[in-house]
Amino acid sequence: MSQEMFKRILRSGWTNFKRNSYVSFGTTGVMALVLFVFLGLMTLNVVANSITQSIEDKVDVSVYFKTTTAEEDILKIKTDIEALPAVAFVEYISRDQAFEDFKARHAGNALIQESLAELDDNPLQASVNIKAKDSSEYAGIANYLEGTRFRALIEKINFYENEQVIARVQNISKGLRSWGMATTLLLSIIAVLVTFNTVRLTIYTQHQEIEIMRLVGGSNWHIRAPFLVEGVLYGLFASLLALAVFYPALSFISADVADKIPGAELSKYFITHAPQTVLTVVVIGVLLGVVSSTIAIRRFLRI
Amino acid sequence: MIEFKNVSSVYNDGFIALSAIDLTIEDGDFVSIVGPAGAGKSTLLRLLIKELEPSEGEVLVDGVSLANVHRADIPLLRRKIGTVFQDFKLLASKNAYENVAFALEMTGASDDQIAEDVPKVLAIVGLADKMTNFPHQMSGGEKQRLAIARALIHRPRIMLADEPTGNLDLVNSHDVLQLLKKIHSLGTTVIMVTHNRDLVNSLEKRVITMEKGKIVRDQKDGGKYVI
């Protein structure tokens, strides 16, 4: 295709878009609404992820060592655990540290403070807190600890007390994710159908023109191309409109959401991910416009 | 040369539009096709631009059977044959200049060539001062002249006019006929379907009369509208 022809098609698409301003405005508006729903779904996914993340962050496994265990051995165990692929990080809390933490935690309680002062020896045990990459890994880590050569030094692994809680957290996370995915999929299908029908109606209003173009010798490609350009324009303007509404709306609700769901910093997330967000919405918008136009115009080209 | 060989056309609802038609139209002829509504006049024209396929028989243009014209080549056939319709069939969203330019754009003509040819052809049909008008801003006569300009832009060897004056008053009908005569004088074969008795009689050319899908009269020269 020559450059001249390409320019002509672009110009023709743009002219159609401008001249059918009411229809173009309506179609763009509906598409913008659809894309806004997409952005809403993206936001919900971010919120759901941060909820599951913050729940999962609260889960860990602690290993308590007998008070007679040497720090050197504990550090060796720590290194062993850190080498496990399922482990995200390991924190060692020495007996002294545990004692200080305990004292600090109960700083306001005079009775406890007095009792602590009378102790000859530190009764608290050293421990390591293990955070797994995924909450499903804790059972495996606990198993590993059961079989380790240092098992004799371990007083207690609190996984068994937490086991049920961890399982419940996993269920909630899984539920949130799969429901989120199902909702996204369902709403996406509805959104695509709404866009498709809107574009189809728009093209239907011009079906007589398409028939005429065919009768005066217009080839399929010549007729179709300006409509595809129109489709791109609908998608482009709709995505820009949706984004122009989305970002201010986000900054408006972000503080409220962060108050209610700690960790869900929506504004921050979508500003850091702005290039991906903008690109995703524009690509979805343009694709929706072009695909809908292509399918819609097909039936009018069979004359 | 246009040839219809034993052509029949039956619509989906069983209506017989044409029944075993044999007809030859030589290059440079000016043929009027007359007859009552439903006689099959427009069907003849629709077969020529492959808007319809014959149920039986064969339509040939310059010796080439239209049955052999591939679907993708139909636009080329339609560019070779200029067509004017009773309802003008103009692109409502395009102005006069763009309506004519569109037909030329299809052929891959350059912008320069379009800018040169379109005003010329609009001047021929007397619309030089209406180039930026949209169809809804034009009278019936102007619309039909615009449709003729569009059909002319390819310099077609065959011009089909389906009731070109059907929606026009006497004066405008006369103008359109003069235009068709002018086009014919340049060597174009013109086939006009019409109900306009005065128009046909004033032409004194070949007149084909149709009834119920059949040719009932073919007056080669100085034909008159007789029904």
Q: pLDDT per residue over B86-129, tens digit each?
A: 888 999 889 999 999 988 888 878 889 999 999 999 998 889 99
Q: Considering A110, A136, A168, which residue would you say is the last residue of a domain?
A: A168
Distance from CA of B76 to the nearest CA of A (A): 6
Residue B26 has pLDDT above 90, yes or no: yes
Identify whether residues A41 and A189 lie together within a single domain.
Answer: yes
**pLDDT tens digits for range B9-19:** 999 888 999 99
pLDDT in the model for residue B154: 84
A72 & A129 share domain = yes
Instruction: Average the pLDDT over B70-76 and give the result.
Output: 87
Ramachandran sector of residue A278 (left: φ over 0; alpha: ψ -120 to 50; beta: rest): alpha
pLDDT band at B221 (very low <50, low <70, confident <90, very high): confident
* Residue A88 domain boundaries: 59-168
Question: Are A67 and A104 found together in one domain?
Answer: yes
**How far apart are the C-alpha atoms of B119 and B96, rounded to whole Å?**
10
Same domain, A164 and A212: no
Q: In this predicted structure, what is the pLDDT of residue A302?
A: 65
Identify the CATH homologous superfamily for domain B2-90+140-219.
Answer: P-loop containing nucleotide triphosphate hydrolases (3.40.50.300)
Of A4, A16, A216, the CB nearest to B93: A16
Q: What is the pLDDT of residue A303?
A: 44
Residues A66 and A204 in one domain: no
Size of chain B in residues: 227
Nearest CA in chain B to A221: B106
**B108, A2: Cβ pair inside 8 Å?**
yes
Under the phi-then-psi rule, with left for phi > 0, alpha for psi from -120 to 50, and beta for the rest, what region is B50? Answer: left
* Cα B191-B194-B198 angle, rounded to 5 deg: 110
pLDDT at A40: 87
Is ipTM beyond 0.90? no
Q: Which of B111, B131, B4 is nearest to B58 (CA)?
A: B4
Q: Greater confidence, B191 or A140?
A: B191
Hey, what are A149's tokens?
């050569």
> Which of chain B's residues have a Cβ under 8 Å away from the Cβ of A213?
91, 102
Looking at the structure, do residues A51 and A177 belong to the same domain, yes or no?
A: yes
Do A175 and A152 reside in the same domain of the chain?
no
Q: How far is residue A84 CA from its own chain's centroid?
A: 27
**Calpha distance B95→B136 (Å, rounded):** 9
Same domain, A156 and A291: no
Please name the helix (run of DSSP H) or strand (run of DSSP E) that holds residue B206, with its range, or none: strand B206-211
**Residue-level pLDDT at B191:** 95
Question: Strand pairing partners for B206?
Answer: B31
pLDDT reported for residue A60: 80
Residues 127-146 of B with CB under 8 A from A: none
For chain B positions 84-123, those within 8 Å of chain A (CB to CB) are: 85, 89-93, 102-103, 105-106, 108, 110-111
* A297 shares a domain with A184: yes
Domain boundaries, chain B: 2-90+140-219
| Same-domain status, A135 and A80 | yes
Q: What is the DSSP letter of A137?
A: G
Average pLDDT, chain B: 90
Mean pLDDT per block of 10 residues along chain A (303 residues) reads 82 87 88 88 82 75 85 86 87 88 85 83 86 82 82 81 74 80 82 80 82 83 87 93 92 83 80 91 91 83 61
With CB atoms and an 8 Å threshold, state whether A217 touches B90: no
The number of distinct structural domains making up chain A is 2
The residue among A168, A186, A206 that closes a domain is A168
Least confident of A32-36, A138-142, B51-55, B200-204: A138-142
Which of A168, A186, A216 is the last residue in one of the domains? A168
User: Do residues A16 and A71 both lie within one domain?
Assistant: no
A215·B106 Cβ contact <8 A: no
Residue A275 vs residues A246, A250, B162, B209: alpha-carbon distances, Å: 14, 16, 58, 71
My answer on whether A178 and A51 are in the same domain is: yes
Instruction: List the single residue in A2, A206, A217 with the smallest CB-CB distance to B103.
Output: A217
